């Protein structure tokens, strides 16, 4: 299988995602520039973190209007593989309406970078299968616009379909509704999360717990 790490102007976490996939998980990984229109040969497409187009206007807003997002939409619809949006990648996915809701300014009104406590809220998604239900873990966050919001109907749907796979626990660092840190779509082939699993890919970096997410996906790709 092949994984793609999408590079937009202003993407900054592309190297980290690449290293986590290639060195941490051992997947054949390539960088894909944002002008690419065809993603069909990849089993996994990662939209990494960063400040695409400076995050001017709104975080992820300008990147979500680039042509590669049509390719991503097509990829998701045809179920060619999995899409993971991390941090700015998650913001791009909500700005492009591929995932519901929106990511707004942290309630602290500041950029915040630190490891935070998390809990696996659904261990039955392809992205979380390596975890125990309710397992606690820690991952770094690094964002100013991470407060997840959605209208009540959307929230209800997210809960009902068990689309919330990751929540902040015990501390909610950004004021996200229902402590939401990561959600998936109904088909469970798109995942968006604010914490950075790719930054915890080696014990020297604090932990290697992050690669368990990617390993879950790889196992699903390889063994169905």
Q: Annotated active-site positions, please?
A: 87, 196, 198
- Using CB under 8 A as the binding rule, whether residue 9 contacts another protein is answered as yes
86 closest CA partner among 18, 175, 186, 170: 18
- Using CB under 8 A as the binding rule, whether residue 60 contacts another protein is answered as no
Interacting residue with another protein among 2, 74, 105, 112 (CB under 8 A): 112
- Using CB under 8 A as the binding rule, whether residue 136 contacts another protein is answered as no
For residues 16 and 190, which CB has a smaller minimum distance to another protein in the complex?
A: 16
Interacting positions 27-56 with another protein (CB under 8 A): 49-51, 53-56
Residues 201 and 58: their CA atoms lie apart, in Å, by 29
Number of Cβ atoms within 10 Å of the Cβ of 72: 23
- Using CB under 8 A as the binding rule, whether residue 145 contacts another protein is answered as no
Interacting residue with another protein among 26, 38, 41, 65 (CB under 8 A): 65
Residues 76 and 78: their CA atoms lie apart, in Å, by 6
Interacting residue with another protein among 26, 70, 97, 113 (CB under 8 A): 113
What is the total count of residues that contact another protein (CB under 8 A)?
34
Q: CB-based burial of residue 151 (10 Å sphere; 0-12 exposed, 13-18 middle, 19+ buried)?
A: exposed
- Using CB under 8 A as the binding rule, whether residue 90 contacts another protein is answered as no
For residues 20 and 158, which CB has a smaller minimum distance to another protein in the complex?
A: 20
Question: Least distance (Å) from another protein to the CB of residue 11?
Answer: 8
- Using CB under 8 A as the binding rule, whether residue 25 contacts another protein is answered as no
| CB contact set of 174 (below 8 Å; sequence gap of 6+) | 106, 107, 108, 112, 141, 143, 146, 147, 168, 194
User: Up-side HSE of residue 201: CA atoms within 13 Å toward CB?
Assistant: 21
Question: Least distance (Å) from another protein to the CB of residue 71?
Answer: 16
Where are the alpha helices (H) located in the chain, listed in sequence order? 14-19, 68-77, 88-95, 152-160, 211-223
- Name the residues that contact another protein, by CB under 8 A: 9-13, 15-16, 19-20, 23, 49-51, 53-57, 62, 65, 110-114, 140, 142, 196, 198-199, 201-202, 204-205
């Amino acid at each position: 299988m092949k994984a793609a790490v999408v590079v937009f102007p202003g993407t900054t976490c592309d190297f980290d995602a690449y290293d986590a996939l290639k060195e941490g998980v051992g997947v054949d990984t390539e960088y894909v520039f944002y002008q690419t229109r065809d993603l069909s040969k990849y089993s996994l497409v990662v939209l990494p973190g960063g400040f695409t187009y400076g995050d001017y206007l709104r975080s992820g807003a300008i990147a979500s209007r680039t042509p590669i997002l049509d390719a991503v939409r097509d990829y998701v619809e045809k179920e060619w593989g999995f899409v993971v949006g991390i941090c700015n990648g998650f913001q791009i996915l909500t700005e492009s309406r591929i995932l519901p809701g929106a990511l707004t300014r942290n309630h602290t009104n500041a950029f915040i970078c630190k490891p935070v406590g998390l809990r696996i809220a659904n261990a039955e998604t392809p992205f979380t299968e390596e975890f125990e239900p309710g397992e606690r873990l820690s991952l770094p966050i690094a964002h100013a616009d991470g407060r997840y919001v959605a209208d009540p109907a959307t929230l209800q749907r997210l809960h009902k379909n068990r689309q919330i796979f990751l929540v902040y626990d015990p501390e909610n660092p950004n004021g996200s509704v229902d402590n939401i840190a990561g959600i998936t779509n109904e088909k469970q082939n798109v995942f968006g999360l604010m914490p950075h699993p790719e930054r915890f890919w080696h014990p020297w970096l604090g932990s290697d717990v992050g690669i368990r997410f990617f390993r879950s996906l790889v196992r699903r790709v390889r063994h169905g």
